[in-house]
A and B are shown apart, each in its own frame.
Chain A
Amino acid sequence: MRYITPRKAAEGLGSAHSGTAHHWAMTVSACALVLLTPAFMLVVGSAIGLPREGVAAYFGRPYPAIITALFIVVGMLHFIKGTRIMIDDYLNHTERKVAIIVSVIFGWAVIAAALFALAKMALVTIVI
């Protein structure tokens, strides 16, 4: 007789051996993005077409800046985990490793670029 719970006996037997934490992270970020998406689209729609000073002043305000920062940070983390699913499905060996590395670097680069631009616009508005 094995003194082991049914859960312990089943853990890690799926083809990926793990994944619950990944799925839960996608669920949480998806819920956040459902709320953020309409707000973000309205913010971007209001900003496109403005002159350069207008863009800086608009994203210098709290609401557009916070919505944009949240959408891009949560969205790119969702993107990194989402591409990982596709990479695991379609690629193997070295190609898989390279694709995961490229995906993670790209995601964080987009986050850094967007936050830098938003921070600079916020500071410029304070100076004026």
Chain B
Amino acid sequence: MADVNRGNRPLSPHLQVYRLPIAAIASIMTRITGHALVAGIVLLVWWLVAAVASPGAFAAADWVMRSWIGFIVMTGSAWALWFHALSGVRHLFYDAGYGLEIDEAKRNSWVIIVGSVVMTLISLILFFIG
């Protein structure tokens, strides 16, 4: 019993300390972004309906839209929409049988994460100079 390995054994994955692989993070973020887009679409449709309802209704919706709350919701929605769209395109490739190897899945997960941030920054720049 002298050479029994007591401290360096592999541990079974423990959910509270398990670090999710990047592909799993990209996968759950796709679901979260898709559902979180509710906030953006509700704010936008409220703003549209308020515009045809009354001057007071539009003033209220437009105030929220142009406040820091509106900025956070719309910028967050832009990022969520880009993330979900890029991930959706990846699902179309998955369905066609491409990008399913572990190394490829890791790489295209990073493409989605970095790509969504870059596209959001481009969207913000276009919004503020346009």
- A interface vs B, CB < 8 Å? 27, 30-31, 33-34, 37, 41-42, 44-46, 48-49, 52, 55-56, 59, 68, 72, 75-76, 79, 82-83, 86, 106, 110, 113-114, 116-118, 120-121, 124
Of the listed residues B48, B49, B88, the one surrounded by the most CB atoms of chain A closer than 10 A to its CB is B48
A-B contact pairs, 27 of them (CB 8 A): A30-B91, A31-B92, A34-B85, A34-B88, A37-B82, A37-B85, A41-B81, A44-B44, A48-B66, A48-B74, A49-B66, A52-B55, A55-B48, A59-B48, A72-B41, A75-B41, A79-B34, A82-B34, A110-B41, A113-B45, A114-B45, A114-B48, A117-B45, A117-B51, A118-B48, A120-B52, A124-B52
Number of residue pairs A-B, CB distance < 8 angstroms: 76
Chain B 76-101 per-residue mask, 1 if CB under 8 angstroms from chain A, else 0: 00100110010011011001000000
